[in-house]
Structure 1
Amino acid sequence: MKRNIAIVAGGDSSEIVISLKSAEGIYSFIDKEKYNLYIAIVKKGEWAVQLPNGEHTPIDKNDFSFRENGKVKHFDFAYITIHGTPGEDGRLQGYFDMIGLPYSSCGMLVSAITFNKFVCSKFLHNFGVNIAKSIRLFRGQSITNEDAVAQLGLPIFVKPNDGGSSFGVTKVKEASALQPAIERAFIEGKEVLLESFIPGTEVTCGCYKVGNFGQQRKEVVFPITEVVTKNEFFDFNAKYNGQVQEITPARISPELTEKIQSETSRIYDLLGAKGLIRVDYIIQADGEPYLLEINTTPGMTATSFIPQQVRAAGLDIKDVMTDIIENEF
């Protein structure tokens, strides 16, 4: 009998638009000969399953079940593709843990840590991972332009500490622009991160591992993608409106490629990650990679980084999806 798979999309942040596109991508990637697929929308005011006829039917929050043709149906597995809260910050993972529904991504604690950029970078820095200098502000806190520049220099990246897809991100080149940038970032999140600017080449590397530690463990680290944009940084337009050149494999040396792939694999294990993750870096002129952020529910449209890297590795995305799903059974 085919397993019922929920592709869980939506969310309560500005990233909902990207999440719904990722859900369409994942729907196209998963083997329909093996699984029955449904897109489940989870957002404030609506938990619903999209049926094959296009209609939406409510989800019972007690067990994440739904009705189809008058019959109650249960899911066997949830593929989480919510970018932002509640699917990337551990909240949905905690709910699925409580009702006993297997899911694709990192667990509750790891998701919560990686979603908080400041906490994640400080945690990994303890293990020797290179990170930018940073300052975190909670709502109600403030910092003077002079203090920020004294600690971080210019330019300064100002971003929501608990958001993604470059919503609310500003590259501040002049001190006078700092306070408006902080206000803008607070629109998107409850915490704001100020980071020192690191010049260099931006790259990203995907990874997944299935099975238990030991001989039966399958570890896959994908080819690296180089991100080139004429924009000030890899902003929303670069990510989603084509204002970028994405080169896979990246135009870096074999030695540096191996170094970044090894660091990505190490970060995966340090965190105790699960499912697909993507780690973003800036490579300084001296060849040292600095961590930018970790995506535990990376974008999964046909043109997203992970599908690009899967193709470059000579793998079939359908097989990767099957690995992720079957790892939970």
Structure 2
Amino acid sequence: MENIAIVTGGDSSEHDISLKSANNIKAILDDSKYKGFLVLIKENNLYVVINKKKIEIDKSDFSFIYQKRKKYFNKVFMALHGPPAENGVLQKYLDKLNIEYSACNSEVSEVTFNKYECNKKLKKLGFLCSKSILINNKNINTENIIEKIPLPFFVKPNTCGSSFGVSKVKFKKQLKKALDTAFNHSNEVIIEKALSGIEIGSGVFFDGKKIIALPLTEIKTKNDFFDFAAKYNGESEEYTPARINNEITQSIKNTSIEVYKKMKLKGICRIDYILENHKPYIIEINTIPGFTNESIIPQQIQAANLDFKEIINLCLANTKN
């Protein structure tokens, strides 16, 4: 039986969501093959949580002492949203110790976590993305922004997830507050042209033989966009499979498979789109998507009549870095 570190926590705004995801993964882990341990990252320290007690992990070899015995982890399942997992920092540490993990490597994660760089790469590969600019100066002249990207547009932290710090700006007077909010979450901000259309989430993973695209989810919210409240507080309606025709559905699935392949993704990922004028524009690649009860990926797995436990088994069977 292999010991699996289900890594969670972190110091970002997504800490609590990460804990929910990790607990769900631990609950469904195949206990005939694996023994799961919650591993909490907090302020650059690592702890394994056993019976609600935190035991410090020796970072030199990713081990811990329990009942006077030294224990090691065989593999890592990534359930930490945001840094240091989604930005690739943790992967560099695990690579040095030759420990396999379920998510993208550090090089890929660095790109996908940086919204602006990810969009640039996707466009270079031939995929559709919304027009965007990068801002790293809080005191920038707002007129210059509006000249480059016409209203309405989104103001987003360049490196943050779960829609924290994101604002939709419809009027010039809203821009200053939106910039301040975004800069509270990241030292760089991306300004992205607002697309008008249906929002679609597309889960995708590798089953050991081929890349599989799960049923699509259509996201409808009463809010201006799919923000944190819509994602986790029930302020949205999600339809899985999405209420779009078969031709467009297959086109988006094929695009997701191509993105997964060309971006060298790994594990379970979610690619989000806005379908504008029947064309799918990629708005985000989420390399460690949520696994909470409210999250999209579990809905898609259920709609595909697949066993969530078996999907986790496949992810852990395909962890070679």
TM-score using structure 2 length: 0.97
- Whether 1:44 aligns to 2:36 is no
Aligned residue in 1 for 2:222: 230
Aligned residue in 1 for 2:234: 242
Secondary structure in 2 aligned to 1:204?
A: strand
Task: Work out the number of aligned pairs and report it.
Answer: 320
Cα–Cα, structure 1 residues 45 and 272, in superposed 2: closer, same or farther, change >3 Å?
A: closer
Q: Is the 8 A contact 1:10 1:20 kept in 2?
A: yes
Q: Which of 181, 190, 196 is the aligned partner of 2:187?
A: 190
Aligned residue in 1 for 2:175: 178
Secondary structure in 1 aligned to 2:299?
A: helix
RMSD: 1.1
Using the TM superposition, name which of 109-118 and 140-149 deviates more. Answer: 140-149
Q: Percent of aligned pairs with the same residue? A: 43
2-side partners of 1:225 and 1:32: how far apart?
30
Q: How far does residue 45 in structure 1 lie from its aligned partner after superposition?
A: 5.1
Q: Is the 8 A contact 2:138 2:179 kept in 1?
A: no
Q: How far does residue 328 in structure 1 lie from its aligned partner after superposition?
A: 2.9
2-side partners of 1:170 and 1:266: how far apart?
30
Counterpart code for 1:238: A
Q: Which of 264, 273, 284 is the aligned partner of 2:265?
A: 273
Aligned residue in 2 for 1:209: 206
Cα–Cα, structure 1 residues 175 and 277, in superposed 2: closer, same or farther, change >3 Å?
A: same
2-side partners of 1:142 and 1:119: how far apart?
22
Q: Is the 8 A contact 1:275 1:324 kept in 2?
A: yes
Query: Deviation per CA, 1:40-64, whole angstroms, max 9, x where unpaired?
Result: 001205310011x221100111111
Counterpart code for 2:297: I
Aligned residue in 1 for 2:54: 56
Q: Is the 8 A contact 2:75 2:99 kept in 1?
A: yes
Query: Deviation per CA, 1:193-215, whole angstroms, max 9, x where unpaired?
Result: 1111101000000001143xxxx
Secondary structure in 1 aligned to 2:184?
A: helix
Q: Is the 8 A contact 1:145 1:176 kept in 2?
A: no
Q: Which of 103, 106, 109 is the aligned partner of 2:107?
A: 109
Q: Which of 71, 76, 79 is the aligned partner of 2:77?
A: 79
Query: Deviation per CA, 1:76-96, whole angstroms, max 9, x where unpaired?
Result: 000011111101000001110
Q: Which of 137, 146, 166 is the aligned partner of 1:149?
A: 146
Q: Is the 8 A contact 1:90 1:108 kept in 2?
A: yes
Q: Which of 281, 292, 295 is the aligned partner of 1:290?
A: 281
TM-score using structure 1 length: 0.95
- Whether 1:161 aligns to 2:152 is no
Q: Is the 8 A contact 2:48 2:57 kept in 1?
A: yes
Aligned residue in 2 for 1:214: none
1-side partners of 2:306 and 2:115: how far apart?
31
Specify every segment of 5 or more residues in structure 2 that has no aligned partner in the other structure, as ranges.
none
Counterpart code for 2:112: T
Moved over 4 A (4+): none
Q: Is the 8 A contact 2:218 2:241 kept in 1?
A: yes
Counterpart code for 1:305: I
Aligned residue in 2 for 1:69: 67
2-side partners of 1:323 and 1:39: how far apart?
20
